[in-house]
């Protein structure tokens, strides 16, 4: 039996939560006041994320405090204090200067969770260039698409990833001026058309002065996906750091003495906003584990690193649940005091499993690439309703709305109504555009509300409940995948006539990518062809995006206007009645 609510802070309290009284915090909150808790660039020269995250601490008693503890795949530990991080990020900003990479230029990094990734993101921000971290499990196609849309001028990557994924793309990336390679293969040989990251960094000065930075200056580019078309590059500005900072305090309850572990990869926005920026602005020690998920590994990281605040994802929690709470209870976690999760719906069972395994419930929160930071959350000092995403952050107004024919929205004031989740536009970390796609950006707003594309409900206590997506994007292991990107890759195979891609419900990953294809004349469905297509897609898209299953169909259902009806494919896959889906896109 799952209780309707879990009382606030039922467990030993060692630290008083930052947000003690939700109503009061809401009433008293203002973004202007929040901005005052940061220092700004010296001399009133604006606000820069990297200054707030690193430099101001490096000039304070925190200078010698551990900012990052990096754990390598093989268990090696490397620590970076705030002042060491300042010097390294200064060096990288100087490397960019030396290459004449200027303000606004897009600097991409494609790497696993290695220290260089953190140094380049922050150094890029210091240089006033725009940082774009890419997920290292992307295949060549998603990498190419993003570098092209983002007009990446610089790419920092490892020798291995370069050889496997990037070298083959160079002719198709005319705007890419510099590729900086991080050696990860032992013996070094010069690779034509690339520069040596380490050599440049070592030769650069550790002194750098951040130029004046306006709150509205572009800082970060994070790609996300829609139902149709290419991935969308969501632009975030330096002023977003106010939200990164405050949400870390209110929703993750960060305190200066915390050891914080965000398990997300910076290739996805959680890994940047909360894996890099928020812990550093809050002056805590941030754990970075290069290794992939492994339940035993994670329990021992939590234990050995004495993690006090842990931010993770539902898929990981479900995988741990599979191994049983006893596996966790073999360890002790005396320092752990707050657990939060984001990315997909967190099952009520998972909230409670936290209590069984760690003695702490798991606090769900909600946000998106476009929101830049946490928008709805379960706070330590508030009752949890298992299955609910919680309540809007102080400073954030959320509502359930329905679009009107006139292009505006109706706001549902009465609780219990299902509709689209909307946020009143104007919080600091709101995206400022989709790069080169103003029309798609404009379509996200109506009557002063940002429309999230999620369907949700609000109950009479003001808690929000996730219902589903309003579109066809796929969520797998917390990663958003655009069906169109997968369909396009499959269509490049000579045998494929049409492709339709859906998210198939999965007990672990929430959804997995499933493709339906019809074949061109002269090709016949067979097991070897299915395997060939799976391999073909995986090679192009990478493991993070490629379909796990492919079915052959004689033809795909389309609307009268020719669009593939993914919803009908999904209804058939799930054995749901087709009738209620046929109206969605105008009938077959
Ligand atoms: C989409 C955003 C969260 C930042 C990283 C992912 C889904 C997110 C929850 C939650 C149910 C959730 C939504 C949202 N989502 N958090 N707590 N419960 N669904 O950002 O890749 O842009 O994905 O993830 O559908 O719109 P993203």
d(Cα 92, Cα 210) in Å, to the nearest integer?
A: 12
- For residue 555, what pLDDT is reported? 94
- For residue 586, what pLDDT is reported? 43
Question: In terms of domains, do 377 and 481 share one?
Answer: no
- For residue 561, what pLDDT is reported? 82
Residue with tokens 């750091």: 241
Question: In terms of domains, do 417 and 346 share one?
Answer: yes
For residue 119, is it within any domain?
Answer: yes
- For residue 580, what pLDDT is reported? 52
d(Cα 88, Cα 423) in Å, to the nearest integer?
A: 38
The rounded Å distance from CA 152 to ligand 1 centre is: 26
CA-to-CA dists, residue 433 to 64, 414, 588, angstroms: 38, 32, 35
Query: What is the token pair recorded at 263?
Result: 């398990």
d(Cα 136, Cα 157) in Å, to the nearest integer?
A: 9
For residue 20, is it within any domain?
Answer: no
Which residue CA neighbors atom 12 of ligand 1 most closely? 344
Which residue CA neighbors atom 2 of ligand 1 most closely? 368
Of the residues 426, 455, 484, the one at which a domain ends: 455
Question: In terms of domains, do 442 and 488 share one?
Answer: no
Question: In terms of domains, do 508 and 409 share one?
Answer: no
Report the length, in residues, of the chain. 588
d(Cα 275, Cα 67) in Å, to the nearest integer?
A: 12
For residue 462, is it within any domain?
Answer: no
Expressed as residue numbers, the domain containing 320 is: 31-455
Find the residues whose C-beta lies inside 6 A of ligand 1: 224, 268-270, 342-345, 364-369, 389, 452-454, 466, 469, 475, 480
Question: 3-state class of 124 per DSSP?
Answer: helix
For residue 485, is it within any domain?
Answer: yes
Q: Which residues pair with 403 in a beta bridge?
A: 409
User: Residue 39: phi, psi to the nearest 5?
Assistant: -100, -25
What's the structural domain count of the chain?
A: 2
- Strand 285-289 and strand 66-71: the pairing is parallel
Question: Which of 340, 366, 359, 363 lies closest to 263 in space, CA to CA?
Answer: 340
Residues 6+ apart with CB under 8 A from 80: 66, 67, 68, 69, 70, 88, 115, 118
d(Cα 537, Cα 339) in Å, to the nearest integer?
A: 36
Question: 3-state class of 50 per DSSP?
Answer: helix
For residue 465, is it within any domain?
Answer: no
Question: In terms of domains, do 38 and 65 share one?
Answer: yes
Question: In terms of domains, do 568 and 536 share one?
Answer: yes
- Ligand 1 atom with the smallest distance to the CA of 224 is 22
- For residue 587, what pLDDT is reported? 41
The rounded Å distance from CA 429 to ligand 1 centre is: 16
Of the residues 455, 482, 514, the one at which a domain ends: 455
Is the CA virtual torsion 97, 98, 102, 106 positive or negative? negative
Which residue CA neighbors atom 4 of ligand 1 most closely? 368
Neighbouring C-alpha atoms within 13 Å toward the C-beta of 144 = 18
CA-to-CA dists, residue 69 to 62, 114, 179, 290, angstroms: 15, 11, 27, 11
The rounded Å distance from CA 364 to ligand 1 centre is: 11
Q: Which helix (H) or strand (E) holds 294?
A: none
pLDDT tens track, the chain, 588 positions: 788 888 775 555 678 999 999 999 999 999 999 999 999 999 999 999 999 999 999 999 999 999 999 999 999 999 999 999 999 999 999 999 999 999 999 999 999 999 999 999 999 999 999 999 999 999 999 999 999 999 999 999 999 999 999 999 999 999 999 999 999 876 666 788 999 999 999 999 999 999 999 999 999 999 999 888 899 999 999 999 999 999 999 999 999 999 999 999 999 999 999 999 999 999 999 999 999 999 999 999 999 999 999 999 999 999 999 999 999 999 999 999 999 999 999 999 999 999 999 999 999 999 999 999 999 999 999 999 999 999 999 999 999 999 999 999 999 999 999 999 999 999 999 999 999 999 999 999 999 999 999 999 999 999 999 999 999 999 999 999 999 999 999 999 999 999 999 999 999 999 999 999 999 999 999 999 999 999 999 999 999 999 999 999 999 999 888 889 999 999 999 998 876 555 444 443
- For residue 185, what pLDDT is reported? 78
| In contact, 440 and 395? CB cutoff 8 Å | no
Q: Which residues pair with 363 in a beta bridge?
A: 340
Mutate which of 244, 277, 343 to test ligand 1's pocket (most atoms within 8 Å of Cβ)?
Answer: 343
- For residue 12, what pLDDT is reported? 53
| In contact, 463 and 388? CB cutoff 8 Å | yes
DSSP string, 181-201: EEP-SSS--PPTT-EEHHHHH
The rounded Å distance from CA 347 to ligand 1 centre is: 14
d(Cα 256, Cα 585) in Å, to the nearest integer?
A: 52
CA-to-CA dists, residue 471 to 240, 455, 525, angstroms: 27, 9, 30
DSSP string, 373-438: S--EE--TTS-B-TT--BEEPTT--EEEEEE-TTS-EEEE-STT--EEEEEES--TTS--EETT-H
The rounded Å distance from CA 366 to ligand 1 centre is: 6
Residues 6+ apart with CB under 8 A from 109: 116, 117, 120, 121, 124, 131, 132, 133, 134, 155, 156, 157
Question: Which of 71, 413, 53, 404 lies closest to 241 in space, CA to CA?
Answer: 53
For residue 294, is it within any domain?
Answer: yes
Question: In terms of domains, do 405 and 506 share one?
Answer: no
d(Cα 117, Cα 157) in Å, to the nearest integer?
A: 9
User: CA angle at residue 380 from 377 to 385, to 5 degrees?
Assistant: 60
The rounded Å distance from CA 374 to ligand 1 centre is: 10
Of the residues 421, 455, 489, the one at which a domain ends: 455
The rounded Å distance from CA 343 to ligand 1 centre is: 4
- For residue 163, what pLDDT is reported? 95
d(Cα 275, Cα 133) in Å, to the nearest integer?
A: 12
Residues 6+ apart with CB under 8 A from 283: 57, 62, 65, 82, 256
Question: In terms of domains, do 176 and 325 share one?
Answer: yes
Q: For the domain that residue 208 is a member of, what is the CATH number?
A: 3.40.50.12780
Question: In terms of domains, do 447 and 481 share one?
Answer: no
d(Cα 288, Cα 377) in Å, to the nearest integer?
A: 23
Question: Which of 171, 161, 108 lies closest to 138 in space, CA to CA?
Answer: 161
- Ligand 1 atom with the smallest distance to the CA of 364 is 17
Query: What is the token pair recorded at 490?
Result: 């499959």
Residues 6+ apart with CB under 8 A from 512: 476, 503, 504, 506, 548, 549
Residues 6+ apart with CB under 8 A from 343: 264, 270, 313, 314, 315, 475, 478, 479
The rounded Å distance from CA 7 to ligand 1 centre is: 25
For residue 469, is it within any domain?
Answer: no
Question: In terms of domains, do 165 and 269 share one?
Answer: yes
Mutate which of 453, 480, 505, 544 to test ligand 1's pocket (most atoms within 8 Å of Cβ)?
Answer: 480
Question: In terms of domains, do 268 and 364 share one?
Answer: yes
pTM, whole model, 2 decimals? 0.95
Question: In terms of domains, do 62 and 199 share one?
Answer: yes
Q: For the domain that residue 481 is a member of, what is the CATH number?
A: 3.30.300.30
User: CA angle at residue 75 from 73 to 76, to 5 degrees?
Assistant: 100
User: CA angle at residue 115 from 172 to 270, to 5 degrees?
Assistant: 75
Give the alpha-carbon dihedral of 476, 309, 271, 80, to 10 degrees.
-150
For residue 140, is it within any domain?
Answer: yes
Question: Which of 290, 266, 66, 301 lies closest to 184 in space, CA to CA?
Answer: 290
């Amino acid at each position: 039996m799952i209780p309707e609510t879990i009382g606030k802070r039922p467990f030993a309290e060692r630290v008083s939560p930052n947000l003690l009284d939700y109503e009061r915090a809401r009433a008293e909150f203002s973004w202007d006041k929040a901005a005052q808790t940061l220092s700004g660039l010296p001399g009133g020269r604006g606000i820069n994320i990297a200054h707030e995250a690193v430099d101001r601490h490096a000039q304070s008693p925190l200078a010698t405090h551990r900012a990052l503890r990096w754990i390598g795949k093989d268990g090696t530990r490397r620590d970076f204090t705030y002042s060491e991080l300042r010097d390294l990020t200064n060096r990288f900003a100087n490397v960019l200067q030396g290459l004449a990479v200027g303000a606004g230029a897009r600097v991409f990094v494609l790497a696993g969770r290695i220290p260089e990734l953190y140094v380049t993101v922050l150094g890029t921000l210091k240089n006033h260039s725009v940082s774009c971290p890419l997920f290292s499990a992307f295949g060549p196609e998603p990498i190419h698409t993003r570098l092209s849309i983002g007009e990446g001028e610089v790419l920092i990557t490892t020798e291995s990833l370069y050889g496997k994924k990037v070298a083959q793309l160079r002719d198709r990336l005319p705007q890419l001026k510099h590729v900086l390679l991080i050696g990860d293969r032992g013996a070094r040989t010069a690779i034509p058309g690339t520069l040596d990251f380490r050599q440049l960094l070592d030769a650069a000065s550790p002194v750098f002065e951040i130029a004046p930075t306006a709150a509205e200056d572009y800082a970060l580019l994070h790609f996300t996906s829609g139902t149709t078309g290419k991935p969308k590059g969501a632009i975030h500005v330096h002023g977003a750091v106010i939200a990164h900072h405050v949400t870390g305090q209110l929703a993750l309850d960060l305190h200066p003495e915390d050891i914080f572990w965000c398990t997300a990869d910076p290739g996805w926005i959680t890994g940047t906003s909360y894996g890099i920026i928020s812990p550093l602005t809050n002056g805590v020690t941030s754990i970075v584990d290069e290794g992939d998920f492994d339940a035993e590994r994670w329990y021992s990281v939590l234990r050995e690193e004495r993690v006090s605040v842990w931010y993770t994802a539902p898929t990981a929690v479900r995988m741990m649940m599979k191994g049983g709470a006893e596996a966790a209870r073999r360890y002790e976690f005396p320092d752990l005091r707050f657990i939060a999760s984001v990315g997909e719906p967190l099952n009520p069972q998972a909230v409670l499993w936290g209590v069984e395994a760690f003695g702490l419930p798991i606090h769900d929160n909600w946000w998106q690439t476009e929101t830049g930071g946490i928008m709805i959350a379960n706070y330590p000092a508030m009752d949890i309703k298992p299955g609910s995403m919680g309540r809007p952050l102080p400073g954030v107004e959320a509502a359930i709305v329905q679009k009107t024919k006139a292009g505006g929205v109706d706001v549902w004031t009465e609780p219990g109504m299902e509709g689209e989740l909307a946020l009143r536009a104007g919080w600091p970390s709101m995206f400022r555009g989709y790069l080169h796609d103003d029309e798609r950006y404009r379509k996200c707003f109506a009557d002063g509300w940002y429309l999230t594309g999620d369907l949700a409900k609000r109950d009479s206590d003001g808690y929000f409940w996730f219902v589903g997506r309003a579109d066809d994007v796929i969520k797998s292991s917390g990663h958003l995948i655009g069906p169109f990107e997968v369909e396009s890759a499959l269509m490049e195979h000579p045998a494929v006539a049409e492709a339709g891609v859906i998210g198939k419900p999965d007990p672990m990953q929430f959804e997995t990518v499933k493709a339906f294809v019809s074949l061109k004349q002269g090709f016949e469905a067979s097991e070897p062809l299915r395997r060939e297509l799976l391999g073909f897609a995986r090679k192009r898209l990478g493991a993070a995006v490629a379909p796990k299953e492919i079915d052959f169909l004689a033809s795909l259902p389309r609307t009268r206007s020719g669009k593939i009806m993914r919803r009908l494919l999904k209804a058939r896959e799930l054995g749901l009645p087709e009738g209620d889906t046929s109206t969605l896109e105008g009938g077959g």
